[in-house]
Structure 1
Amino acid sequence: MGEETAWGLFKQMRWPDTNGTPICPKCGCVESYDIATRRKHKCKACYHQYSVTSGTILASRKMSFTDLLAAIVIIINGAKGVSALQLARDLDCQHKTAFVLSHKLREAMASEIKGLDVSGTVEVDGAYFGGHIRPSNLKKNRVDRRLVQNQTGKRRVVVIARERKGRTLTTVTKTEADGVAFVSKIVRPGSVVHADEASHWDALHAKFETMRINHSEAYSFNGACTNQAESFLARLRRMVEGQHHHVSPQHLHQYAAHAAWMEDHRRLDNGSLTHRAVTLAMAHPVSRNWKGYWQR
């Protein structure tokens, strides 16, 4: 579509109320001078110079607007995610650039449901990720990798609370039992919670109407099931194992939020998803986790 058209699209996403007319992020003035050679604006009131990405999660970007838009489209098109290495190949940029850009977009996606809760019929579940230990070459040197003393300590659990025909909320804990407090906090009182046979979910009976399903006997019984929660965890597991291969425990929550966002909007077309992702990125402030990441 060309750099000029892509720049105009970002302006419309940043300032939708004025149909793309710049608004000074410092004083709010709608009148500005255009610095066309640098695609920036200068406020007529306070003389502050700013661009369409100033103050957003894409601030201080060096990538062209066409490449930024292409990166968002590529990530959106990946039903189970896109690795940073693949994105770097598609955009012809460094792996470091693709890695940070992907995480910035994931942070923007996660902001869509920040502070929200779930209600109605809610399915809860958890799945373990990471912490793989490679066995020794010689059989005599191998240890029981199931024992705590032989584990890496990097294994984490993604706990999910998924509202039927609604949103998906996730968190990362060390054990699935630690997710009980998360579920109790984000599920609205009066909701009906569906959980599996794990004993730590027994605590939910004191606060919610809870239906349980024993997976060793059936996948659903008398209306109780966690199939939608399992569906999300299957998408996340394919994303981690099939695309990224390895996910650091400190970043696992962002991959889970990305999978939840894709799962919640799976019925939308790529154009609508791209529009939504760009709007979220333009509304999100500068990232405190990813700004200057490689410069520490």
Structure 2
Amino acid sequence: MYNIIGYDMSQHFLLSPAAKTLSLVKVMRMSHDEARDAVRNIRFADTDGAPYCPECGCCEAYDLRTRQVYKCKGCAKQYSLTSGTIFASRKLAIRDILAAIAIFINGAKGYSALQLSRDLSVDYKTAFVLLHKVRESIEIARNEGALSGSVEVDGAYFGGYVKPANEKKDRKDRRKKIHQSGKRQSVIVMRERGGRTITYVTATEAEGVALVAANVQHGSTVHADEASHWDKLAAYFPIKRINHQIAYSKNGACTNQAESFFSRLRRAEVGTHHHIAGKYLGAYDNRSRPTSALGRGLATQAKAKGHDPFRQS
């Protein structure tokens, strides 16, 4: 049976040791200084934990301990552990940020801002913004190039629910476009076996054909169901098709990992967030991440200038 990230596929990933690399217990047992040391070693991993200026790259700095910031000896700019990253100008303690990341990453089916606000004893808006910062950092880190190897692709529709009228005589056929809200969107998922997951939000599943062609390395084997729009992928890739009316997996073709992604996303929609449609759907569709996303999720920050803050080698 095929191996993914070093564990047997007969065992679910969440039951494996690889899923327990980030522990909330370890974070909460840290002192404030230990939490800062942990973040500094991740942020400045390429210099063995020695801070450097995000503005000019100078490795020499004064440690202004009274304000817990550094002052660059080259350009005199003051910067903190989170300067130049998505967590810049944060007001929460470093340990609380690490705790929020641990809680979020270990929530296999999502984690609500309301629950996090209670767990960390912070305002709901604070928890909401913090979780979206983590989601944004994960999105930046996961888009690091084309997928390759065996890639499963699929699409599923979310949102646009129209509540039926109370009395049967007043109910409309909600399958017809005229009776729909127009808010239904399709999530396109591309899952590299043993690797990354890339998602996009589109109006229809058919729009996923161009996205797959742009985000999957040509020559890779693509697995898809028998929806007619996926036929066009045969012009770009060796393609394996699976008819779900006959089997979930047959002759090496399956989209089980793509279906697994949608299963967790739907559980997050129904049981955790209750409503993730509209403009926020694209932020919530990246739940399928291993716990190693602590390093990967903080890896590439949009605000960095020539450096990779929080890069973990």
Deviation at 1:80, TM superposition (A): 1.4
Q: AA paired with 2:268?
A: M
Deviation at 1:15, TM superposition (A): 1.1
Deviation at 1:120, TM superposition (A): 2.1
Alignment partner for residue 46 of structure 2, among 5, 12, 17? Answer: 17
Question: Which residue does the alignment assign to 1:75?
Answer: 104
1:111 matches 2:128:
no
Alignment partner for residue 166 of structure 2, among 129, 137, 157? Answer: 137
Question: Which residue does the alignment assign to 1:202?
Answer: 231
1:118-160 CA distance string (max 9 Å, x none):
2222211111111111122233332222111111111111111
Deviation at 1:286, TM superposition (A): 3.9
1:221 matches 2:250:
yes
Are the aligned partners of 2:150 and 2:221 in contact in 1 as well (CA < 8 Å)?
yes
User: Helix, strand or coil for the counterpart of 2:108?
Assistant: coil
Question: Which residue does the alignment assign to 1:285?
Answer: 302
Partner Cα separation in structure 2 for residue 59 and residue 198 of structure 1: 45
Are the aligned partners of 1:76 and 1:273 in contact in 2 as well (CA < 8 Å)?
yes
Partner Cα separation in structure 1 for residue 35 and residue 238 of structure 2: 50
Deviation at 1:62, TM superposition (A): 0.7
Percent sequence identity over matched residues? 55
Unaligned runs of 5+ in 1: 288-296
User: Helix, strand or coil for the counterpart of 2:279?
Assistant: coil
Are the aligned partners of 2:160 and 2:277 in contact in 1 as well (CA < 8 Å)?
no
TM-score with structure 1 setting the length: 0.87
TM-score with structure 2 setting the length: 0.82
Are the aligned partners of 1:59 and 1:286 in contact in 2 as well (CA < 8 Å)?
no
Per residue, is there more helix in 1 or in 2? 1
Q: AA paired with 1:71?
A: A
Partner Cα separation in structure 2 for residue 10 and residue 120 of structure 1: 34
Which 4+ runs in 1 deviate beyond 4 A? none
1:8-59 CA distance string (max 9 Å, x none):
2221121113332221122222222222122111122222111111111001
Deviation at 1:97, TM superposition (A): 1.1
Partner Cα separation in structure 2 for residue 167 and residue 132 of structure 1: 30
Deviation at 1:251, TM superposition (A): 2.0
1:191 matches 2:220:
yes
Partner Cα separation in structure 2 for residue 102 and residue 286 of structure 1: 18
Unaligned runs of 5+ in 2: 1-29, 305-313
Pair 1:273–1:112, CA change in 2 (3 A): closer
RMSD: 1.8
Q: AA paired with 1:127?
A: A
Are the aligned partners of 1:58 and 1:286 in contact in 2 as well (CA < 8 Å)?
no
Alignment partner for residue 91 of structure 1, among 120, 129, 132? Answer: 120
Pair 1:276–1:171, CA change in 2 (3 A): closer
Are the aligned partners of 1:204 and 1:210 in contact in 2 as well (CA < 8 Å)?
yes
1:164-198 CA distance string (max 9 Å, x none):
22222211111111111111111222222221111
Q: How does 1:1-296 map to 2 (within 5 A)?
A: 1-257=30-286, 259-260=287-288, 262=289, 265=290, 272-277=292-297, 279-280=298-299, 283-286=300-303
Deviation at 1:217, TM superposition (A): 2.2
Alignment: residue pair count: 275
